[in-house]
Amino acid sequence: MKEAAVLLCQHIGAICEPVVKKGDTVAAGQKVGDSQAFVSAPVHSPVAGKVKEVALRSHPVLGRAMAVVIVADPPDERPAAVDPGRFADFDTENCEQAAILDAAREAGLVGMGGAGFPTRVKLDPKGTPKETLIVNACECEPYITCDYRLMLEWTDQVLAGVRLATKAAGCKRVIIGIEDNKPRAIEVMRDACRAGADGIEVMPLQTKYPQGGERQLIRAVLGKSVPTGGIPPMIGVVVINVATAAALADAVVFGRPLTHRVVTVTGGGIDRPGNYYVPLGITAGELIEFCGGLNSQARKVVMGGPMMGLAIADMETPLTKTSGAITVLTKQEIGSAKFKRRQTACIRCGRCLEVCPERLNPTRIAHAVKNNLLDVAQDYYMSACIECGCCSYVCPANIELTGYIKTGKIFVARQKKRMPE
């Protein structure tokens, strides 16, 4: 990588301020942005080099956001290899709860499954007691396999992270939820848990989208529902993703900040799909080039999976901590009928209501957003939407319901000054 653009907003919560300036020399793993707010997470440089500028860059969700741009010196340097055996031998029992939480904060850990909620805050043992830790290993979205490969190849690291998270949150019960279309992962994780003999349960779950949504997962694993507008700790549950667990182990055992992650590069529009361990701040274009570039069938580049991801127009968009996939779709994959058809008026078929896992009324929310009635959209529980994309997928009128809802949520966040203009 020649240049890394480290976005200062890669999480839910307060946006980081740059702590370096143009011309500064930075080391690999050095903090380049931070915030004093409790709900936030610092960002670090994945490479050694010189700060070229602090400037606006494309952001996969926000459109544009500030980033610290670092010219790598030397270019194309890979992170130092670590001894994977250290994770299996690491004694999580002797780790102090406060030390784990501090390591999570300092390493800039956030939920890597997509939400980007700061891990330090999520694991905070204060407030409502957290009885159960659920590890989200469903990876329910089609095409994406990065968490699956983590479970198979970095099993000890994932389990060390799960144990550390359990201790940090003060949970008594731990369940790893894996969809039953991943029998190999279920077997590997079960064997590893048995060897540890510390009561971690592996639970196969029905393969269905969006099983990996936090609220859907809790319902499937425990049969409990999180109140609408509420959060899992209200019912004594904390959920972390497989990749976040692996990153927590890396942070505690080796003191490494979150500067790299495994990303699935997939879709019919790419010639060399696969899972790659990439520096955060690399652009989508550079990563795609590394994977052989776009082929002649490529029509749409999506940051994320085909259901919840966002199409990007700028190939200079940098990857963030929550970028688990880049999906390059062909015309056939988008669906030729959908590709040709235009949006028409709602025919009030009610299909979007039937499929919504949160039992919302997507058409009403989308209509309110379209007419700039954000308070009305809020009254219809817009914030409870998990952005699964099911309503858009089934809509015979081709209405981008999820797109309207996502836009509405961004407008509300901007009104509340939680996001930059």
Which position among 103, 239, 249, 405 is part of the footprint of ligand SF4 (CB under 6 A)? 405
Q: What is the CA radius of gyration of the chain?
A: 21
Going by the DSSP 8-state scheme, the letter that residue 383 receives in this structure is G
Sheet holding 310-311, edge to edge: 274-279, 260-266, 325-330, 298-303, 310-311
Residues 305-364 that bind ligand SF4 (CB under 6 A): 346-352, 355-358, 360, 362-363
Which position among 5, 391, 412, 419 is part of the footprint of ligand SF4 (CB under 6 A)? 391
Which position among 258, 395, 412, 419 is part of the footprint of ligand SF4 (CB under 6 A)? 395
For the beta carbon of residue 207, count every other beta carbon within 10 angstroms.
13
Cβ proximity to ligand SF4: between 348 and 416 the closer is 348
Cβ proximity to ligand SF4: between 256 and 351 the closer is 351
Cβ proximity to ligand SF4: between 155 and 402 the closer is 402
Contact 130, 169 (CB under 8 A): yes
Residue type at position 138: C
- Among 32-40, 170-178, 201-209, 392-400, the segment contacting ligand SF4 (CB under 6 A): 392-400
Q: Where are the alpha helices (DSSP H) in 282-371?
A: 284-290, 331-334, 336-340, 351-355, 362-370
Fill in the per-residue mask, 362 to 381: x = in contact with ligand SF4 (CB under 6 A), - = not in contact.
xx------------------
- Among 88-96, 150-158, 196-204, 384-392, the segment contacting ligand SF4 (CB under 6 A): 384-392
Which position among 75, 199, 230, 396 is part of the footprint of ligand SF4 (CB under 6 A)? 396
Closest approach of Cβ 403 to ligand SF4, in Å?
9
Find tokens 């880049």 and name the residue. 326
Alpha-carbon distance of 167 to 160, in angstroms, equals 11
Cβ proximity to ligand SF4: between 203 and 355 the closer is 355
Using CB under 6 A as the binding criterion, the count of chain residues that bind ligand SF4 stands at 29
Alpha-carbon distance of 404 to 14, in angstroms, equals 24
For the beta carbon of residue 50, count every other beta carbon within 10 angstroms.
15
Cβ proximity to ligand SF4: between 188 and 385 the closer is 385
Contact 173, 271 (CB under 8 A): no
Q: Is 8 in the site for ligand SF4 (CB under 6 A)?
A: no
Residue 310 bridge partners (DSSP): 303
Site for ligand SF4, rule CB under 6 A: 346-352, 355-358, 360, 362-363, 385-391, 394-397, 399, 401-402, 405
